[in-house]
């Protein structure tokens, strides 16, 4: 499964989320502040981050901004955990948030949101790997968003799989 970093100043809420996700086979770490989370991300990038929207001190928005500025930080999906008062805050973060879940959350709801975000992240990494292979091995050129062109000469040189 995945390594998940939970950033929540409320120890009980962070531990509860970790327990729910560990029962699903994930490896979780819980930290109370954004500064500690950023240090951990520098040492060992997690598969995703669960972030409390009501994070004190610098706040969740500043955390996401600092994470995205780090090398490799833009590749880490962030799931925003919101209270009923802060529901819908994910949109205010722009492209920085991969998912959102309201507190209190049910075990299955948390697991579903995490699984969806991780599946999306895996699919994105696979597409990027394929694009890299195509452009390196076949001199394929991007022609439009997500589309590539291969010359007729290159197509003729491909092996037949029939």
Per-residue pLDDT tens for 130-162? 666 666 666 556 666 666 666 544 544 555 554
**In a 10 Å sphere around its CB, with 0-12 CB exposed, 13-18 middle and 19+ buried, how is residue 60 labelled?**
buried
- % of the chain exceeding 90 in pLDDT: 47
Q: Is the separation of the CB atoms in 103 and 83 below 8 Å?
A: yes
Cα–Cα distance for residue pair 34/114, rounded to 1 Å: 20
Q: Quick one: pLDDT at residue 155?
A: 46
* Nearest residue to 90 (alpha-carbon basis) of 109, 120, 121, 64: 64
Per residue in 61-94, pLDDT tens? Answer: 899 999 999 998 988 999 999 876 555 555 556 6
Predicted TM-score of the model (pTM): 0.74
Which domains does the chain possess?
3-126 (3.40.50.2300)
């Amino acid at each position: 499964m995945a390594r998940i970093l939970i950033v929540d100043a409320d120890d009980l809420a962070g531990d509860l989320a970790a327990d729910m996700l560990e029962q699903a086979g994930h490896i979780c770490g819980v930290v109370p502040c954004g500064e500690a989370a950023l240090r951990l991300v520098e040492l060992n990038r997690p598969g995703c981050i669960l972030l409390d929207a009501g994070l004190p001190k610098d706040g969740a928005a500043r955390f996401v901004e600092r994470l995205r500025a780090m090398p490799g930080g833009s590749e880490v999906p962030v799931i925003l955990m919101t209270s009923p008062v802060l529901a819908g805050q994910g949109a205010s973060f722009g492209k920085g948030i991969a998912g959102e879940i309201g507190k209190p959350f049910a075990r299955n709801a948390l697991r579903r949101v995490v699984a969806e975000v991780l599946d999306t992240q895996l699919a994105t990494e696979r597409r990027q790997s394929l694009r890299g292979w195509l452009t390196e091995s076949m001199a394929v050129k991007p022609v439009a968003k997500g589309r590539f062109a291969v010359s007729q000469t290159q197509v003729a040189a491909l092996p037949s799989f029939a």
